Chains A and B, each alone.
Chain A
């Protein structure tokens, strides 16, 4: 038995060392070394400067805005994305295939394009912003604008996560619940939602992560006022422009660690639900 057999199961197929070697080299070059810089550079001026960079009022405000707005947007997408997935899998109506195809538009549309389009829509002289202005609602150039942009980019994640599960869900169970006298509300909360929850959580987690890191579609609509409507990625850019590499890296690292912890929580919740369901 060769030493390599201890870490790799035997296979007669060729190309293992070649493909693994190329994969590892490529990942090191484009992912590992760059991210190592992100992990190491914040500490070059000591722990105190890391604490100072993450606890400054401006950094705190930016991080809070990115995470809270992403959470609100993910919650909205959970409801409206869930509704869209439901309608697209369960009902037939004219234009259904088109509606299904345009769900992916936020994936395909460059974020800067989405950003200026949303700004034009929700500015006070825009078609939607103009309707809301008399009601005293301002969207563009406020934190609400940040949420709107994050709803746009996050929508497909939720819909595409739920759709296949809804498709596979046995409709006879719903019909059975109905014949046993369950109201539509009971059927929805007791039968459909529990089956859907793991997929919904994973979709919402993806939408949330995307929202936290989102830059292009947000910066146009946000107004970018420090302490008020400045998102964390923009703060990174600002600090880079001032050649504060360590500060920028610190905010970047903080964002990654926070998102990682939140997604870990989401995964834990998913496992918990799956175990209870089994």
Chain B
């Protein structure tokens, strides 16, 4: 239909259309380059400004390694917890009907619309020097603020919805027929979970973990508020970028930034791989 309509149009109109199309594509790509790709490029250029060896030397500082370790540790605690939460939340929300379900789903999404700084602030209000729980913490001789524990708490809050949001629409779409069939055949609850539910959602689970992981490793605002910025102790990689930048160590800052950018690119590659290879096993795209 479109093709016939096109062929009926006069040649000059077709040429005009081709021109307009080229212009639109050009404009869109120019914008993409300016807004998204130029920042990526400038990171590499600035990191390598004084040569590869200087950039690599600044990456081998003990502070960078300590920051990388803390970033990995934080992610290793926060992501599995949020994955377990995502599975539990998706199971009760998609397999049962109960009053307050809509409210529960809204609560799960809530951290997405909260400023990262607020996601850090709330922990200071609870555990800071004049926080709600400060008297108990002082009495017990415990410190949460400005320790890795606070960083983990802030990261969990920020990344809490990611896995649940991938699993809920998919499990809604899949329905519970297979699980009900297994139940009538006498399967135990653990068997239903491990042999039916988990295999059915494995790619969406991986996808959600990937997104949560990327956000956890890159989180800045929330972590910045609770960290105290103690080098070697409570400094994550994104925070270390800020410290180096504010000390005018631009090569170091951009080299560390480049390391994080590479992690982001790996995430994107894995993400598009999952989207292309396992599109049917992920929930319909387009709700974010």
The residues of A with any CB-CB pair to B shorter than 8 Å are 7-9, 11-16, 18-20, 22-24, 26-27, 30-35, 37-38, 41, 80, 83-84, 86-88, 91, 93, 97, 99, 101-114, 116-118, 120-121, 126-128, 151-152, 155, 157, 160-161, 163-165, 171-172, 175, 178-179, 184, 206, 209, 212-216, 220, 232-234, 236-237, 240, 243, 245, 248-249, 252, 255-256, 259-260, 263
Instruction: Report Cα–Cα, A186/B84, bound state, in Å.
Output: 51
- Of A38, A113, A216, chain B has the most CB atoms within 10 Å of the CB of A113
Contact residue among B42, B110, B111, B121 (Cβ-Cβ distance under 8 Å from A252): B121
Main secondary structure of the interface of B (DSSP, over half): helix
Contact residue among A8, A127, A212 (Cβ-Cβ distance under 8 Å from B96): A8
Interface contact B92-A16, CB-CB below 8 Å: yes
Interface contact B238-A110, CB-CB below 8 Å: yes
Nearest-Cβ distance from residue A255 to partner chain B, whole angstroms: 6
A–B complex contacts, Cβ < 8 Å, 14 sampled: A9-B98, A11-B96, A30-B157, A31-B107, A34-B157, A108-B265, A109-B39, A113-B43, A113-B260, A120-B254, A160-B288, A212-B115, A245-B125, A259-B113
Indicate if B160 sits at the interface (CB-CB under 8 A): yes
Main secondary structure of the interface of A (DSSP, over half): helix
Nearest-Cβ distance from residue B194 to partner chain A, whole angstroms: 12
Contact residue among A111, A175, A252 (Cβ-Cβ distance under 8 Å from B1): A175
Q: In the complex where A212-B115, A255-B115 touch, is A245 in contact with B124 (Cβ < 8 A)?
A: yes
Nearest-Cβ distance from residue A96 to partner chain B, whole angstroms: 9
Instruction: Report Cα–Cα, A233/B116, bound state, in Å.
Output: 8
Nearest-Cβ distance from residue B188 to partner chain A, whole angstroms: 9
| Residues in chain B near residue A163, CB distance under 8 A | 286
Nearest-Cβ distance from residue A145 to partner chain B, whole angstroms: 13
The interface bits of chain B over 14-27 (1 if a CB of A lies within 8 angstroms of the residue's CB, else 0) are 00010011001101
Contact residue among A83, A116, A234 (Cβ-Cβ distance under 8 Å from B245): A116
| Residues in chain A near residue B118, CB distance under 8 A | 38, 213, 233, 236, 252, 255-256
Interface contact B239-A112, CB-CB below 8 Å: yes
| Residues in chain A near residue B267, CB distance under 8 A | 108
Instruction: Report Cα–Cα, A172/B193, bound state, in Å.
Output: 45
Contact residue among B25, B36, B92 (Cβ-Cβ distance under 8 Å from A19): B92
Nearest-Cβ distance from residue A105 to partner chain B, whole angstroms: 5
Question: Closest residue of chain B to A155, judged by CB?
Answer: B35
Indicate if B148 sits at the interface (CB-CB under 8 A): no
Interface contact A120-B89, CB-CB below 8 Å: no
Instruction: Report Cα–Cα, A160/B32, bound state, in Å.
Output: 14
